[in-house]
Amino acid sequence: MSELYPLKFEPILKEKIWGGQSLSENYGKYQGDLKNIGESWEISAVSDNLSVVSNGFLAGNNIEEIIEVYMGDITGESVYEKFGIEFPLLIKLIEARDDLSVQVHPGDDLARERHNAYGKTEMWHILSSESGARIYTGFSGLVSRESYIDAIAAGTIGELLNAEPAEPGDTFFTPAGRIHAIGAGIVLAEIQQTSDITYRIHDWGRKGSDGKPRELHTDLALDAIDFNETGSGKIINKLLPNKPSELVRCRYFDANIINFDRGINRDYNLIDSFVVYLCTEGRFIIRWDTGTETVIRGETVLIPASITNVELIPEPKAGLLEIYINQGL
């Protein structure tokens, strides 16, 4: 059987009413005839949006097909035992030229009951932002179920939300059940469970491409919201040069940021998981036992679990998100 290598995938681009051109102009996503790109699905196992390999001898195969053949050599034995051929994370780049809707995602239990699917816990890492850009995350204070219902009826739900300034390098953790919205003028990386379930609560009076108000899911959202989720959800960690700096550690994924201007080695023998690199700045080379692969800003690469040691070489400096699953949690 041929030896595995770092895998790149064809981006799956999503046109959105609130999208723009930055993912095309600044992050290398060719948009073709699409006008406003809101999302680039970098690695996806969502059933009708399966990522397809774009490099090497596996090019043209989708992510389920390669996991079906290589199993734990792709995802890690413990990950494969739990998830089978379904890749457990959805990796996106998002551009919000306008405010996204106020929304919430269900947790695992509710998502399983209603949709036979996983819930959606996620994190955002801000790549660029305009002056005054904000992330809406959690309630600004204690909110009762009754006062929330009243605010929905009055169209004033935005007044109950916590608004945080969003600057490049900021990271926000959004567990399932936390009400949130991405504000205008932001490009970010989103790491989440493999789920596309969103309950739209409030859409700022916006109309869809058909000229009609977009569908809301206020009844479904009511039982999904955790009314105790207040505050910013912003991650405050000290960033170390040329070393991994922890951003998020949760039951669904671990995420680190690495900003480096010299070569570094990464040893993954102890994690029994795939690793995803998302290049946030610059470019770098991945070197492993049998080859090299160059990664540029905006690209995402999947390191199979069978590759347990790599060297990362910046050209001349780079930044990346490092994501994997820690089954020890």
| pLDDT one digit per residue (tens) for the chain, 329 residues | 459 999 999 999 999 999 999 999 999 998 788 889 999 999 999 999 999 999 999 999 999 999 999 999 999 999 999 999 999 999 999 999 999 999 999 999 999 999 999 999 999 999 999 999 999 999 999 999 999 999 999 999 999 999 999 999 999 999 999 999 999 999 999 999 999 999 999 998 887 778 888 889 999 999 999 999 887 889 988 889 999 999 999 999 999 999 999 999 999 999 999 999 999 999 999 999 999 999 999 999 999 999 999 999 999 999 999 999 986 54
Angle CA(315)–CA(317)–CA(321) in degrees, nearest 5?
110
| Confidence (pLDDT) at 252 | 96
What are the tokens at 178?
């936390």
| Confidence (pLDDT) at 199 | 96
Are 275 and 268 within 8 A, CB to CB? yes
Q: What is the Cα–Cα distance from 288 to 295, expressed in whole angstroms?
A: 14
Phi, psi of 222 (to 5 degrees): -55, -45
User: Which residue has tokens 């090019």?
Assistant: 59
Q: What is the Cα–Cα distance from 159 to 161, expressed in whole angstroms?
A: 6
Q: What is the Cα–Cα distance from 175 to 204, expressed in whole angstroms?
A: 23
Q: What is the Cα–Cα distance from 158 to 151, expressed in whole angstroms?
A: 9
Q: What is the dihedral of CA 152, 103, 199, 205, to 10 degrees?
A: 60
Q: What is the Cα–Cα distance from 72 to 162, expressed in whole angstroms?
A: 41
Are 163 and 179 within 8 A, CB to CB? no
Residue ranges and CATH numbers for the domains of the chain are 7-222 (2.60.120.10), 245-324 (2.60.120.10)
What are the tokens at 76?
């890690």
Q: Which of 200, 251, 266, 283 is catalytic?
A: 200
97 is catalytic: no
pTM: 0.95
DSSP-assigned states of every residue in 10-58: --EEEEEEEEESHHHHHH----TT-S-EEEEEEE-EETTEE-BB-SSTT
Q: Is 147 helix (H, G, I), strand (E, B) or coil?
A: helix
